[in-house]
Amino acid sequence: MAGSAQKKTDYKDPQYTGLASLVQEALEGYFNAHDGAMPPVGLYDRVLNEIERPLISICLEYTDGNCLRAAELLGISRNTLSKKIKQLGLK
């Protein structure tokens, strides 16, 4: 978004209610968009993929691509991280 001010989240702001509330709000919007019909099956995996992808990408970015350090930061093994990178199609 070049030229436009991006809103930054202030995690120290007492109004910040956490990631869970943001996810809940997004999911409620997703369900509401289906006008009472059930969303397509496989929601669990889709949601996990949408959260894992940026989580892993950001950890890799902040560790300069060092998989061992990123895995430690995430609290998972390097093998698990490598598997996730392949599953999610990350580089």
Identify the pLDDT of residue 3.
45
CB count in 10 Å sphere of residue 86: 9
pLDDT score of 55 more than 50: yes
Q: pTM surpassing 0.85? A: no
Half-sphere exposure of 5 (CA within 13 A, CB side): 3
Q: What's the pLDDT band for 2 if we cut at 50, 70, 90?
A: very low
Q: Taking a C-beta distance cutoff of 8 angstroms, is the pair 50, 57 a contact?
A: no
Q: What's the pLDDT band for 6 if we cut at 50, 70, 90?
A: low
Cα–Cα distance for residue pair 23/56, rounded to 1 Å: 17
Identify the pLDDT of residue 8.
65
pLDDT score of 39 more than 50: yes
